[in-house]
């Protein structure tokens, strides 16, 4: 089996890959990256990931980036872990479609809450950037909530997509967004939070956060 080194930042989108690693039950060396201190821009880190982002998974020293790719790779390497559907081409594609929506749909909208000034540097633009982000985010959350109606998990049974969805709910809570319109998403998060692998990951991220601070 490959040697894994996993670079993540506590609370960041890397949580999606972190949960997938833990759910797969593989051994890996965890490497916290302090984003606020700019460790992702250190030359040694940029040499591994020129994008200056987490997550980054080293597979026998070879860098693999992007949650979608890392999760898909782990799902293929450890099919028994059930991270994604594996024996039905359409079900696999539907799962990838959701992972892509997380990465390219939900994430970029939520990034605007974390750094509104990076999206518009006109004076006094922050409130407007946040207002538009809130509207776009509510649309995304409504789509996810509707997909979850009558289901325990977004694909029916637990998959790595559910772990990814946890990231955005936590971010929304951090930014104190009104989440009352999304009861199915709230119920999903409760189920995901009960998973032992998720609890272990959150404990590791909390520990890493304390060490960084």
State in angstroms the smallest separation of the CB of 183 from ligand GSH: 26
The region of 52-60, 127-135, 147-155, 190-198 touching ligand GSH under the rule CB under 6 A is: 52-60
State in angstroms the smallest separation of the CB of 10 from ligand GSH: 11
Whether the CB-CB separation of 71 and 99 falls below 8 Å is answered with yes
Torsions phi, psi for 25 (to 5 deg): 70, 25
The secondary structure of 159-205, three-state, reads CHHHHHHHHHHHHHHHCCCCCCCCHHHHHHHHHHHCCHHHHHHHHHH
The residue among 12 and 58 lying less far from ligand GSH, judged by its C-beta, is 12
**Residue 172 binding ligand GSH, by CB under 6 A:** no
**Residue 72 binding ligand GSH, by CB under 6 A:** no
Q: In the sheet that 29-32 helps form, which strands lie side by side, from edge to edge?
A: 29-32, 4-8, 56-59, 62-65
**Residue 18 binding ligand GSH, by CB under 6 A:** no
Figure out which of the listed residues 4, 7, 8, 13 binds ligand GSH, where binding follows CB under 6 A. 13
Q: For residue 166, with 0-12 CB atoms within 10 Å meaning exposed, 13-18 middle and 19 or more buried, which class applies?
A: buried
**Residue 39 binding ligand GSH, by CB under 6 A:** no
State in angstroms the smallest separation of the CB of 146 from ligand GSH: 23
**Residue 67 binding ligand GSH, by CB under 6 A:** yes
Tokens, residue 54: 């987490």
Site residues (vs ligand GSH, CB under 6 A)? 9, 12-13, 35, 40, 52-55, 66-67, 103
């Amino acid at each position: 089996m490959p040697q894994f080194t996993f670079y993540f930042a506590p609370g960041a989108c890397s949580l999606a890959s972190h949960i997938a690693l833990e759910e797969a039950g593989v051994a890996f060396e965890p490497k916290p990256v302090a984003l606020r201190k700019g460790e992702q821009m250190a030359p040694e880190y940029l040499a591994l990931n020129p994008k200056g982002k987490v997550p980054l998974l080293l597979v026998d020293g070879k860098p693999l980036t992007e949650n979608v790719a890392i999760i898909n790779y782990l799902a293929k390497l450890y099919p028994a872990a059930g991270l994604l559907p594996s024996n039905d081409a359409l079900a696999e594609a539907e799962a990838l479609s959701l992972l892509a929506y997380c990465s390219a749909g939900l994430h970029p909208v939520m990034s605007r809450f974390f750094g509104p000034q990076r999206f518009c540097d006109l004076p006094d633009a922050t409130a407007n950037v946040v207002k538009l982000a809130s509207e776009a985010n509510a649309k995304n959350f409504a789509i996810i909530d509707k997909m979850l109606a009558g289901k325990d998990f977004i694909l029916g049974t637990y998959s790595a997509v559910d772990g990814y969805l946890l990231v955005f709910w936590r971010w929304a809570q951090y930014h104190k967004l009104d989440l009352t319109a999304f009861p199915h998403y709230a119920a999903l998060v409760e189920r995901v939070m009960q998973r032992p692998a998720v609890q272990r990951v959150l404990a590791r991220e909390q520990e890493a956060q304390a060490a960084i601070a």
